């Protein structure tokens, strides 16, 4: 069975590059129409601060019948108190959402073994942080598996982001907005698609945001195509939804995938960070 997990990272616009601004939240209504139209099972990885700063956010997510998981508290990276940020995010999640999260996603996909083991101690069952790809200055995961696996010496399952096999280009809304769906269709023709596809997007990729103007020059260049060349950025998402479902993929929550595949997974020995 071909399966797709649609996952949305709910955080400040552009990952907080322009501060704690949430204009992208205004496009959740557009997303809900698509979720309902295609009966999507959407998993939301939400920062604790986003839950605190946006009182209506939980109502929107529940209206879309989202599986709600954790995305740290502040979406900051590279700081000494990362473990405290994870712990605080989980505590806020439990307070506002009303249950303990099963899954976690690290900001920008940057995670270490130490953090994985800490997630286990906090009761997390699965992680979905690893891009089995290469991003200059951020991570090099080209030696990591492209399929789900158990992390050695832990009970944590890793559900990595989907990539085009062999060339390992991430299959996500940001990359499809950048290169175009027609380019990805061509890549899929030559290299195929994974049986399980974890597809990622963000609230701020769904619309044209005024907060874009507050970005520093380099990040602004990186988001230029989605923010200025597309008249309807959320339409790029819907076109992919129609395309992938036409290929026979079934939309599932990540927790359901976790429960289904856990007994049959191999173990990956994560050596170094």
- Quote the pLDDT of residue 86: 96
Expressed in percent and rounded to 5, the helix, strand and coil fractions of the chain are: 45, 15, 40
Structure tokens at 45: 């990885």
Distance from C-alpha of 52 to C-alpha of 148, rounded to nearest angstrom: 32
Show contacts of 91-99: CB within 8 Å, 24+ apart: 91/48, 92/48, 92/49, 92/51, 92/52, 93/46, 93/48, 93/51, 93/68, 96/48, 96/51, 96/52, 96/58, 97/51, 97/58, 97/68
Question: What three-state secondary structure class fits 3?
Answer: strand
Query: Computed from CA positions of residues 175, 9, 236, 221, in that sequence, does the dihedral angle turn out positive or negative?
Result: negative
- Quote the pLDDT of residue 77: 73
CATH number of this structure's domain 3-268, picked from the four choices 1.25.40.10, 1.10.220.110, 3.20.20.370, 3.40.50.620: 3.20.20.370
- Quote the pLDDT of residue 80: 65
Q: Phi then psi for 201, rounded to 5 degrees? A: -155, 175
- Quote the pLDDT of residue 137: 85
User: Is the Cβ–Cβ distance between 73 and 89 less than 8 Å?
Assistant: yes
Which pTM was predicted? 0.97
- Quote the pLDDT of residue 69: 98
User: Is the Cβ–Cβ distance between 49 and 107 less than 8 Å?
Assistant: no
> Which of the residues in the chain have pLDDT under 70?
78-80, 272
- Quote the pLDDT of residue 81: 80
User: Is the Cβ–Cβ distance between 111 and 129 less than 8 Å?
Assistant: yes
Query: Computed from CA positions of residues 251, 257, 260, 264, in that sequence, does the dihedral angle turn out positive or negative?
Result: positive
Interaxial angle between packed helices 233-246 and 181-191, expressed in degrees from 0 to 180 and rounded to the nearest 10: 30
Kind plus residue range of the DSSP H or E element containing 257: helix 254-261
């Amino acid at each position: 069975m071909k399966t797709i997990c649609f996952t949305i990272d709910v955080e400040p616009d552009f990952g907080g590059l322009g501060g704690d601004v949430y204009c992208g939240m205004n496009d959740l209504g557009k997303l809900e129409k698509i979720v309902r139209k295609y009966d999507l099972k959407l998993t939301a990885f939400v920062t604790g601060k986003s839950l605190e700063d946006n009182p209506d956010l939980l109502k929107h997510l529940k209206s879309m019948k989202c599986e709600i998981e954790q995305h740290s508290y502040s979406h900051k990276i590279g700081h000494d108190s990362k473990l405290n940020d994870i712990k605080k995010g989980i505590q806020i999640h439990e307070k506002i959402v009303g249950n303990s999260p099963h899954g976690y996603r690290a900001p920008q996909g940057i995670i270490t073994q130490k953090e994985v083991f800490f997630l286990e101690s906090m009761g997390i069952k699965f992680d979905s942080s690893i891009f089995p790809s290469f991003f200059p200055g951020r991570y090099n995961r080209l030696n990591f598996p492209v399929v789900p696996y158990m992390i050695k010496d832990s009970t944590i399952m890793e559900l990595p982001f989907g990539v085009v096999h062999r060339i390992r280009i991430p299959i996500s809304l940001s990359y499809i907005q950048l290169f175009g769906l027609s380019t990805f269709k061509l890549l899929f023709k030559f290299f195929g698609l994974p049986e399980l596809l974890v597809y990622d997007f963000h609230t701020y990729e769904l619309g044209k945001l005024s907060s874009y103007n507050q970005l520093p020059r380099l990040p602004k260049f990186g988001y230029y195509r989605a923010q200025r060349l597309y008249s309807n950025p959320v339409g790029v998402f819907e076109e992919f939804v129609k395309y992938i479902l036409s290929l026979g993929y079934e939309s599932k929550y990540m927790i359901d995938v976790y429960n289904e595949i856990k007994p049959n997974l191999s173990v990956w020995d994560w050596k170094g960070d």
